[in-house]
C-alpha cells in the first residue's frame, strides 16, 4: 500500500479496497492498498540515474545457508509464523518530486530512496524491537525504481542490492523471517514500469520483469529459508478496483509463472525457496474466482498465497468512520473462510500481506474529527483487531499490519504508525495496546483444523515473555544463533525474582545436548552469569529442571540450582534471560513456541 509522503505533492486518496534493549549475550568459554548490520554509507550512482544506499561491501552469505525440506505449510506451522508486520515506507519509499539531492528525480522519473518518506534508515535496534514485540516475520517492501539500467539487460545497481541485503540481514539477526518483493514499480502514480495496461501490448514489460527477478534471485541465492520472495505488489489498471478481467488475469498468471521460472532457474537455494503469489489488485477474489491460477512449480509444496485487506476502507484506511458494521464483520468472516477452504485446507499457507486498522486521527481528509469521536474510534479499532486477527488465526491466515513508521496530518488516511523506527519500541501507549491486542487475539484464537487455544497457565498469574532475539558474539555485532534472549520489562523482572518463580518453555523438539541458563544485569554491565542446566544428552542436571516429553514442556525453577550467583540475581534492577543451547547451530531448531514466568 502507498502511505505516501511527498514534499510538495499532496498525498492522493486511495480507493476503498475489499481486498484482500538489545542484549550483549557474549559467548561462554564453553498491499487496498500495499541484516550484516549497518545503515550503509555508499552513494553509488546507478545505471537508471538512481543513487545507492548500500555500504559497498558484500553482505551476503559466502556459501549456501540451510534450506528446509518442509512444505511451506509445515514451515509456517513449525516456526510459529502466525503474525507479521510490514517495514513500510522504507525501502519502498520514492522521491517523485524535484529535489536538489536527487537531481535526476522528477514526477515522471521517480527514484526509490530509503528515507524519502520521513523514516530513518532501517537499523538493528528496530528489528530487535520488532521481534521483542512478538512478531516473527516481516514483509520488507522494496521499490526498484531508479536503480534499474536500460534495455536489454536492465542491470540493477550493485549498491542498491547491497542495501536490501543489509536490511534482510538485520531482520535475520533479530530472529525474524522475511519477505522481499517488487513493490511500487507497478504504481501508476509513479509511472511504474510494471504496468499491466502496457504489458497487454508491449512484451518488453514482461521481459524486464523476468530479468529483474532473475538478478534479485541470483543475488540472494545463498540465503536460507528465512528469506522468501513475493513477485509483485498491487497490480491493477490504475483504478484501484478489484475484479480483474480474464485478459488481466492472463497477464497476472503469466507473471506469476515467469517469476517462478526465473527464481527456480537460478538454482541453488532458490530451487526450493518459498514463493508468495498475489492476484489482480491483491484481491480476496482469488479465493473464489477461477481466473486466478497458481503457477506450475518444479518445487513441491513451496507456494504461499496472499491478499490485502483494508475493508471497510473508511474505517480501516482513511479512518474517517469511527465504527464498522455487522455487514463488514460478516464479509470479513466469509472472505477469510473462503481462503481456508481453497488454500489452507489444501496445505497452502495464506497471508494478509497488508491490513489495518489505522488510528482515527485529525488529518486532511477527516474534517469531522473530534476528541469524542476518537474515544469511540479507539474502542472500535481494538474490537476490530480482535475480529480480524482472531478470525485470521482460526482460518490459518497470517496477518501483516501495514506499519509505516510516521504519520503526517497532510495524509488522506489514518495513522498506520505503531513502532519507533529508531529503537523498535511502540511509539505510544495506544500503539503498545494495539500491538498487544494483535498478539493476544492470535494466541487466544482456536487454531485452524479445530482444537482449542493454548490453555492459560495455572492460577492465571503467569507472565508471557513474548518472542526472543538472538544473542551476540563477543564482537558485539555478529549474531549468535545458539542463544535465545529475552530483555525483561520491569514487571517481568519482578516476576523472575519472586520466590518460587520458574521459567516455562513450550518446545516443538526435545533438547538433545547441553543447555545453559544465563542472566545479565545491564545496569551493572554483568553480562554472563551462566550455569549448565541440561547435560550432553539433553537430560536435566538437577531436580530444579524438568522435561515433560508428553507436552514438550521444559520447566526451569529459578533458584540456586539453576541461577548462577542467585543472591545477585534477586537484587538486580534489570535483567536479560538467555538460554544457550549447544545441540545445533541455531536455537530455532528447538521450536520455542512460548516462554512464560510462573
Range 45-56 average pLDDT: 39
CA 100 to chain CA mean position, Å:
33
Check whether 323 has a pLDDT greater than 90: yes
Cα 110-92-261 angle, rounded to 5 deg: 100
Residue 112: φ, ψ to 5°: -70, 120
pLDDT tens, residue by residue, 426-444: 999 999 999 999 999 998 8
Using CA atoms, how far apart are residues 598 and 596, in angstroms rounded to an integer? 6
Instruction: Average the pLDDT over 147-155 and give the result.
Output: 97
Query: What residue ranges do the domains of the chain occupy?
Result: 77-98+107-443, 463-597
Name the catalytic one among 114, 234, 403, 598: 234
Q: What is the pLDDT of residue 36?
A: 36
Grid coordinates representing 70 are 518442509
Give the three cell numbers for residue 27. Answer: 559467548
> What's the CATH architecture for 77-98+107-443?
Alpha-Beta Barrel (3.20)
Active site residue 234: yes
For 443-462, the pLDDT digits (tens) are: 888 888 655 554 444 434 57
Q: Which residues contact 321 (CB under 8 A, 6 or more apart)?
A: 312, 314, 315
pLDDT computed for residue 56 by the predictor:
53
Encode pLDDT of 384-395 as tens digits. 999 999 999 999
Tell me, yes or no, if 354 is annotated catalytic.
yes
Percent above pLDDT 90 for the chain: 71
pLDDT value for 29: 33
166, 354, 413, 598: the catalytic one is 354
CATH no. of 463-597: 2.60.120
What DSSP string runs through 526-545? Answer: EEEEEEEEE-TTS-BSSTTE
Q: What sign does the CA torsion over 446, 449, 451, 455 have? A: negative
Cis link prior to 70 (omega < 30° from 0)? no
- Lateral strand order in the sheet of 553-557: 463-464, 594-597, 502-506, 553-557, 545-548
**pLDDT band with cut points at 50, 70 and 90 for residue 184:** very high
Tens of pLDDT, residues 245-258 = 999 999 999 999 99
pLDDT, one tens digit per residue, over 185-204 is 998 888 899 999 999 999 99
Amino acid at each position: 500500500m502507498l502511505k505516501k509522503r511527498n514534499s510538495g505533492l499532496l498525498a492522493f486518496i486511495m480507493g476503498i479496497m475489499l481486498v484482500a534493549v538489545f542484549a550483549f549475550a557474549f559467548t561462554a568459554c564453553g498491499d487496498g492498498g500495499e541484516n550484516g548490520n549497518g545503515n550503509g554509507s555508499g552513494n553509488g550512482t546507478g545505471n537508471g540515474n538512481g543513487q545507492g544506499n548500500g555500504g559497498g561491501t558484500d553482505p551476503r552469505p559466502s556459501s549456501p545457508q540451510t534450506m528446509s525440506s518442509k512444505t511451506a505449510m509445515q514451515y509456517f506451522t513449525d516456526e510459529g509464523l502466525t503474525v507479521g508486520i510490514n517495514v513500510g515506507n522504507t525501502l519502498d519509499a520514492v522521491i517523485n518530486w524535484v529535489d536538489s539531492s536527487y537531481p535526476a528525480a522528477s514526477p515522471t522519473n521517480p527514484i526509490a530512496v530509503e528515507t524519502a518518506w520521513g523514516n530513518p534508515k532501517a537499523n538493528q535496534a528496530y528489528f530487535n524491537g520488532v521481534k521483542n514485540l512478538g512478531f516473527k516475520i516481516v514483509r520488507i517492501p522494496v521499490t526498484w525504481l531508479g536503480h534499474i539500467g536500460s534495455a536489454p539487460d536492465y542491470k540493477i545497481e550493485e549498491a542498491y542490492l547491497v542495501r536490501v541485503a543489509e536490511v534482510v540481514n538485520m531482520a535475520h539477526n533479530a530472529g525474524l523471517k522475511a519477505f522481499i518483493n517488487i513493490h511500487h514499480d507497478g504504481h501508476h502514480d509513479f509511472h511504474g514500469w510494471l504496468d499491466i495496461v502496457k504489458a497487454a501490448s508491449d512484451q518488453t514489460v514482461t521481459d524486464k520483469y523476468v530479468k529483474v527477478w532473475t538478478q534479485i534471485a541470483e543475488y540472494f541465492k545463498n540465503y536460507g529459508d528465512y528469506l522468501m520472495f513475493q513477485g509483485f505488489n498491487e497490480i491493477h489498471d490504475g483504478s484501484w478496483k478489484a475484479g480483474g478481467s480474464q485478459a488481466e488475469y492472463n497477464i497476472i498468471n503469466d507473471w506469476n509463472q515467469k517469476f517462478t521460472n526465473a527464481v527456480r532457474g537460478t538454482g541453488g537455494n532458490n530451487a526450493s525457496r518459498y514463493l508468495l503469489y498475489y492476484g489482480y489488485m491483491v484481491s480476496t477474489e482469488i479465493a473464489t474466482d477461477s481466473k486466478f491460477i497458481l503457477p506450475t512449480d518444479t518445487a513441491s509444496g513451496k507456494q504461499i498465497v496472499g491478499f490485502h485487506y483494508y475493508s471497510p476502507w473508511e474505517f480501516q484506511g482513511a479512518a474517517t468512520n469511527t465504527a464498522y458494521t455487522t455487514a463488514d464483520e460478516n464479509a470479513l468472516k466469509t472472505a477469510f473462510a473462503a481462503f481456508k477452504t481453497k488454500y489452507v485446507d489444501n496445505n497452502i499457507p495464506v497471508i494478509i500481506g497488508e491490513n489495518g486498522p489505522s488510528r482515527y486521527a485529525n488529518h486532511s481528509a477527516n474534517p469531522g474529527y473530534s476528541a469524542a469521536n476518537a474515544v469511540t474510534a479507539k474502542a472500535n479499532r481494538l474490537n476490530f483487531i480482535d475480529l480480524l486477527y482472531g478470525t485470521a488465526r482460526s482460518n490459518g491466515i497470517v496477518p501483516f499490519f501495514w506499519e509505516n513508521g510516521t504519520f503526517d496530518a497532510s495524509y488522506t488516511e489514518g495513522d498506520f504508525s505503531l513502532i519507533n523506527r529508531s529503537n523498535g519500541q511502540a511509539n505510544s501507549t495506544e500503539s503498545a495496546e494495539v500491538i498487544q491486542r494483535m498478539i493476544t487475539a492470535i494466541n487466544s484464537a482456536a487454531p485452524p483444523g479445530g482444537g482449542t487455544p493454548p490453555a492459560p497457565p495455572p492460577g492465571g498469574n503467569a507472565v508471557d515473555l513474548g518472542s526472543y532475539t538472538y544473542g551476540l558474539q563477543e564482537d558485539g555485532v555478529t549474531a549468535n544463533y545458539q542463544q535465545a534472549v529475552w530483555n525483561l520489562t520491569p514487571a517481568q523482572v519482578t516476576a523472575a525474582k519472586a520466590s518460587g518463580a520458574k521459567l516455562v518453555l513450550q518446545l516443538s523438539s526435545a533438547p538433545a545436548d547441553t543447555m545453559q541458563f544465563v542472566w545479565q544485569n545491564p545496569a551493572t554491565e554483568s553480562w554472563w552469569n551462566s550455569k549448565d542446566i541440561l547435560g550432553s544428552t539433553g537430560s536435566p542436571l538437577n531436580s530444579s529442571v524438568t522435561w515433560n516429553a508428553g507436552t514438550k514442556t521444559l520447566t526451569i525453577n529459578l533458584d540456586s540450582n539453576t541461577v548462577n550467583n542467585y543472591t545477585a540475581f534477586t537484587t538486580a534492577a534489570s535483567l536479560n534471560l538467555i538460554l544457550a543451547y549447544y545441540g545445533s547451530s541455531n536455537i530455532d531448531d528447538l521450536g520455542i513456541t512460548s516462554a512464560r514466568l510462573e
